[in-house]
Amino acid sequence: MMSDKSASAYWTANIRLITICMVIWALVSFGFGIILRPLISGIAVGGTDLGFWFAQQGSILTFIVLVFFYAARMKAIDRDFGVDEQ
C-alpha cells in the first residue's frame, strides 16, 4: 500500500506525463496542421505540402507514437513506485 506522500508523487508524475503527451499532440495536430500551415506549406513531402501532411498523416502517426511512449513511461513510473504488475 502506498503512503499519501508516495501516492501524491505517483499521480504528479502521471499527470506530468499526460500533460507532456497532450502538449506534443496539440502542437503537431493544431500547431503544424492548422495554425502554422501557411508557414510550412512551401516544404514538399510526398507530393504535397508539409502542413497538409501534418494535418492528414503526421498527427495520426504522432498520436500512435505517443500511445506507445506513454505505455512505456507509465510502466517505468509504476515500477519506480512499486505498483507494477508482476
Q: Where are the chain's structural domains?
A: 21-81
**Share of residues in the chain with pLDDT > 70 (%):** 98
User: What SS3 state is found at 48?
Assistant: strand
pTM to 2 decimals? 0.81
∠ CA(64), CA(31), CA(49), 5° rounding? 85
**pLDDT above 70 (res 62):** yes
Q: Is the dihedral of CA 84, 73, 19, 62 positive or negative?
A: negative
CB-based contacts of 7, cutoff 8 Å, min separation 6: none
Q: How confident is the model at residue 15 (pLDDT cuts 50, 70, 90)?
A: very high
Give residue 1's pLDDT.
Answer: 64
For 51, the enclosing helix (H) or strand (E) is helix 50-53
User: What SS3 state is found at 57?
Assistant: helix
